[in-house]
């Protein structure tokens, strides 16, 4: 089995030699998923706005129980 430094060098060589953007994006995604961070930073502005709207509505007492909500979407 290779040591970690040798494996990192081999991966760097493979990454540098590829012209496939899908491979580069996949490697980037792996690193991004392994970073510890707040999921909030990964949300789109639209997703953030929807969550904030939902929180506001809950604070105003506007809520629906799960069964009622699901009945509308079945």
State how far the Cα of 27 lies from the Cα of 22, in Å rounded to an integer: 9
Residues 6+ positions from 6 with CB-CB distance below 8 Å: none
Q: Provide the residue-wise pLDDT of the chain in tens; the chain has 74 residues.
A: 568 998 999 999 999 999 999 999 999 988 887 777 778 888 899 999 999 998 998 889 888 888 887 888 88
What local confidence, expressed as pLDDT, does residue 1 receive?
59
């Amino acid at each position: 089995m290779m040591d970690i430094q040798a494996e990192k060098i081999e991966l760097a060589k493979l990454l540098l030699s590829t012209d496939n953007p899908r491979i580069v994006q996949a490697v980037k995604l792996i690193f991004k998923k392994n970073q510890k961070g707040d999921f909030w930073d990964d949300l789109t502005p639209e997703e953030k706005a929807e969550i904030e709207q939902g929180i506001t509505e809950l604070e105003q007492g506007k809520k629906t129980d799960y069964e009622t909500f699901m009945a509308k979407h079945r």
